[in-house]
Every structure is written in structure tokens, then in C-alpha cells.
Amino acid sequence: MEKQAAVYILASERNGTLYVGVTSDLVRRVWEHKNDLVEGFSKRYGVHNLVYFELGENMFAAIEREKQLKAGSRKKKLQLIEAKNPDWRDLFDEIV
């Protein structure tokens, strides 16, 4: 997958701790989370499974979408994940 703006949700497990992020290189960024190279929330709480992502037209749009997702309720995030990934599969292998 080439570099492209994306917003993503990582989870520790099904219905577990969620992390919402934005990046211009989804493969690299998720790999960094999975290998605990990102200090902070995802490393501290073991949030390593890519359960949802959206590709954006540009970084501005992706950042705006990230803000929207972060401002939304946990229930809305769970609904997004369940709608596109009802089995909560780790989608990392699909983007590599």
C-alpha cells in the first residue's frame, strides 16, 4: 500500500481499549504500534490490532475525520467497527 492519508482504530481485543489515530503511512504506523515503538497510550495499554481504517483524500481530511471520531462516543466507534469488521479481525495483513 502506497503512502496515503488514513484514519485508523486499534483495539487491544474485541470490545477492549480503543485508540484512534491518523497517519500518512498506515502500514508503517500500525507496524510501529504492533512493535511498541510508539511511546504512550497504545504501548501502555497493549492496543495493537488494526480493527478499522478509512483512507482519506489528503491529510487535512484525515485529520478532520480523526477529530470527529475522537469526539464521538465509544458506542459510535464500536458501531463503525462492527459494521465493517464484525469479527474484529486484525486487518494489518490486508494492508501489507
42 closest CA partner among 17, 14, 15: 17
Which DSSP category does 13 fall into?
S
When pLDDT is averaged across residues 18-45 and rounded to a whole number, the result is: 96
pTM: 0.95
Q: What is the pLDDT of residues 9-20, one digit of tens each?
A: 999 999 999 999
β partners of residue 7: 22, 54
Give the amino acid at 5: A
β partners of residue 52: 9
Q: What is the pLDDT of residues 47-93, one digit of tens each?
A: 999 999 999 999 999 999 999 999 999 999 999 999 999 999 999 99
**pLDDT-based confidence at residue 38 (cuts at 50, 70, 90):** confident
H or E segment and range at residue 21: strand 18-23
Cell numbers 484512534 label which residue?
A: 20
Sequence-distant (6+) residues with CB within 8 A of 18 are: 9, 10, 11, 47, 74, 77
CATH 3.40.50.970 fits 6-95, yes or no: no
Cell numbers 481485543 label which residue?
A: 13
